[in-house]
Amino acid sequence: MLRIDLSALVANYAFLQRSLGAVPCAAVVKAEAYGLGAVPVARALEQAGCRHFFVAHLCEALALRPALDRRSTIFILNGLPPGGEGEAAASGLVPVLNSLEQVQAWSAEARRREVSLPGVLQVDSGMSRLGLSAAEVGRLEAAPDLLAGIEVKLVMSHLACADEPGHPANASQLQAFETLRRHLPPAPASFANSAGILLGPDYHFDLGRPGIALYGVHPGIDRSAPLQPVVRLEASVIQTRLVEGGTGVGYGHVFTATRPMRLATLAIGYADGWLRSLSGRGYGFLDGTALPIVGRVSMDSLTLDVSAVPAERIGYGTPIELIGPHQTVDDVAGQAGTIGYEILTSLGQRYARDYVGEAGSAAGSSPVPEEFERTERDR
């Protein structure tokens, strides 16, 4: 059972919005809002005043569009697949244009429809992942007709190392972004993901673009931001047994009982996103007692050593905390040798998701509901 606390989500949004001051805060809800469910998450944030939503794919945008207010904007970070322009335009979606080919295809769609279509220009300021290179920005500047029919809503770029505040790439990307923008039509700018927002106002520009911090996970090793946990995960015991010392446990017998032990099998495995790298690492919790995972994580189950709790306390159906007050997403990520992002997005579709908490309470409304407040000229 994956429990998602919408009040905590909204409180985190309010914290990020406060950090941004007068700059509006968007929400990145790609990959089903990092595994938490894009529609309920986006709706709760919309009620809290959020008006700008980012997904990765056209299909994600199409699925989200009917759930949101007509006036809320949905941006598609990966841009459009060739041939997807008609569908995107018909649904009022805003693609991030990452290449001259995407610019040309979007411009052609606008001409076909004899309208102007909103688009975002992404520039590569140094991550080397997505966006127009400096040379391509130069070609756009030399041939502004390439943008005919495109209403540039936003110029954006993405930080590679924002989770390391002292990393020199942050300042150099900032400088590169400032420079590249000057060669493009004046438009509001967006640069900062969660970690970028925490870097401070120099990185904020005109629209914040957080994902992970909304979901209560710290983007870097600095855990000082007052983020509230959004996710709780419990799995049920489906069998218990007593084993003798020397008994092998699970696939490969990579664990052997060192003494008589009471074991409990939980109905969760790597097919549910509880990563196989957590084999023999980490804990479940019952009544605050840490119960070590023993042996390999299977596809649909894993085994805990529950010798530390009284036998009568644990049986078929007993819920065991895996993410909650005793163990955060970050803790689990540390044990698995990965990052909180991968833990959250791995918690797949297999669980029942249970939404608790009031959506519309904590944040108030966004300072700028419809348009961006600051423009190129204000900076």
Known catalytic residues?
A: 30, 251
Q: How far is the CB of 213 from ligand PLP (least distance, A)?
A: 6
Please list, in sequence order, all residues whose beta carbon lies within 8 angstroms of the beta carbon of residue 38, skipping any fewer than 6 positions away. 29, 30, 32, 55, 60, 63, 64
Tell me: does residue 344 bind ligand PLP (CB under 6 A): no
Cβ-based nearer residue to ligand PLP, 56 or 100: 56
Draw the binding track, 155-174, toward ligand PLP (x: CB under 6 A; -: no contact).
---x----------------
CB of 210 vs ligand PLP, minimal distance in Å: 4
Q: Sign of torsion, CA 57 30 10 26?
A: negative
CA gyration radius, the chain: 24
Contact 212, 169 (CB under 8 A): no
Q: Give the total residue count for the chain.
A: 379
- Residue 329 sits in the site that holds ligand PLP (CB under 6 A): no
User: With contacts defined by CB under 6 A, how many residues of the chain interact with ligand PLP?
Assistant: 13
Nearer to ligand PLP, 28 or 132 (CB): 28
Residues 201-220 that bind ligand PLP (CB under 6 A): 209-213, 219
- 366 forms part of the interface with ligand PLP (CB under 6 A): no
Distance (Å, whole) CA 5 – CA 210:
18
Smallest gap from Cβ 306 to ligand PLP, in A, equals 35
**51 scored as a contact of ligand PLP (CB under 6 A):** no
CB 56 to ligand PLP: min, Å: 7
Decide if residue 28 touches ligand PLP (CB under 6 A).
yes
Whole-number minimum distance, CB 189 to ligand PLP, in Å?
13
Measured CA to CA, the distance from residue 192 to residue 281 in angstroms comes to: 34
Longest Cα–Cα distance of the chain, Å, equals 78
User: What is the β-pairing status of strands 353-356 and 319-323?
Assistant: unpaired
Rounded to an integer, what distance in angstroms lies between the CA atom of residue 188 and that of residue 379? 10
- 64-83 footprint of ligand PLP as x/- string (CB under 6 A): -------------x------
DSSP string, 73-111: EEEETT---TT-HHHHHHTT-EEEE-SHHHHHHHHHHHH
Tokens representing 298? 């299977």
Residue 376: CA atoms inside 13 Å, Cβ hemisphere, count?
16
Of 102, 193, 318, 328, the residue at the interface with ligand PLP (CB under 6 A) is: 193
User: Taking CB under 6 A as the rule, does residue 336 contact ligand PLP?
Assistant: no
> Pairing state of beta strands 231-243 and 189-190?
unpaired
Member of 170, 194, 301, 327 binding ligand PLP (CB under 6 A): 194
Least distance in Å: CB of 357 to ligand PLP?
Answer: 21
Residues of the shown chain interacting with ligand PLP in the complex, contacts defined by CB under 6 A: 28, 30, 77, 158, 193-195, 209-213, 219
